[in-house]
Structure 1
């Protein structure tokens, strides 16, 4: 949450944005919810984005709000990106029903290693993010829809995945992803795709390349031991979306394994399946997983630690206090996110 953007530019543009949103909402037969897309590194994305989210919550207190965040490169985009990220995420945790995150580092690797792009542009990065979001938000059948496309995918996504107010962080993976020139020469099977996606979930692999096939979910007495020692990615809830040919023949039982999930929710409550026989983006078969799990625990912890190290020496804090963001606001944000980290760390 940038200082001037939140405190100055947000209020200055509030009326204009609210009027634009009002016009769109009035055109809807049924408001499924609102999705705000923003970055968190700094500037307009974090500051104005957070302020507008707060306005939307005030205007539509009963509507679902999903925030889509682009996480900054760990090597740094702006010097105060960790401050902005901490302030933004702490505020959004109070306002949003769910927060879907794309990490720039991960998307960059997909462009480089999977799509073989040599000189990666913002357009390339945006195409990968758009592909993954499209694979989530395109129409699909839910398990109890009886062949009728969902009329409220945003609400059903949030309801299925953000079932506890302490756990709102969602990550997304999509396979396959390859250069368009390679698609015609590739074959895909549901067992192969689902096996890869399940292991990506377990080992917290962001791409098919580099999957740790040795990782397994702890079971029985192993659950009582430190999960950190296993490196296993425990889930609270997962949404699996299958699109393409012969989709109704796909066997998804591996994602219903209770060992994948926290012990205080049944796998029936934790796992949701959507399907569509319509091909997506030229792929004969494709699998997308939206996961509320420990996948974002490490980048979140790294971001909070880096911001705290700067705050301990009061580096750049004056840039915020002169616009009304106090040191107490920083401390409250640190406390809020440390609680989120602790909650995800203790999933068992």
Structure 2
């Protein structure tokens, strides 16, 4: 029997997840809901689904799971309502911008006994997951250090940044999840510094930054450095390397093609994929298929609401470290 999945949010990320759900033969779309009628109607029409309201989704006992791809400020309320309705949850990151509220959501999900996947799609990227598998097999021995580079091609509008929760919650939350996933330990200390270098309005109008450097030390003494920027003229820069006692593993950027052009003056390759929609296209599809497999009892949940809360804890700590210019001790 197909899993009946309803989608809340018909914007950019909701469109990606809804399309991936529609492609999965084990899923039947139970409806598309959005605060704006036009996007909901357009997406529902494209996928052969019907437009529904949020209230109809929670009142319908035939809906097995809810996919939450709406704006960040709606996540916590929808997670709690979905949990109370006894339905499984797939929610985009972050759980919420407020850590206390996120922890309330975690407790609501635990009380419901339902699965809740938080959308850290980087864990499902084929390159990243292959590197993780090789780490787990002990290929480079005892892990010692992680270096992460994460750069966007350009900053979002200042209006968006004002309500984003800040760069550490909006952008680096993915990198904090990578830190926990790859090193397999919690952070003991966090030190973060940041600047607004790409656009002065990001500091003056949004009270935010666009370039950061974060150093973390785990409870076991492993070290990590994360460097991010809202500007990379050459494309979407997503890579990391892990140093171990027996060697190093690196995960590099994806390019549209792997053609190498060699001439008398230069050897050139394609620039990295332009943005996350292209870079993580496969990861989003694998992530959705994993969620369906979990609900079907074929796989165990690989990323949970607890992971979402833990990443938010690190984002909070990094924000405090930057604002107060000090090392934040977590444990």
Output the TM-score relative to the length of structure 2.
0.26
Bigger helix fraction: 1
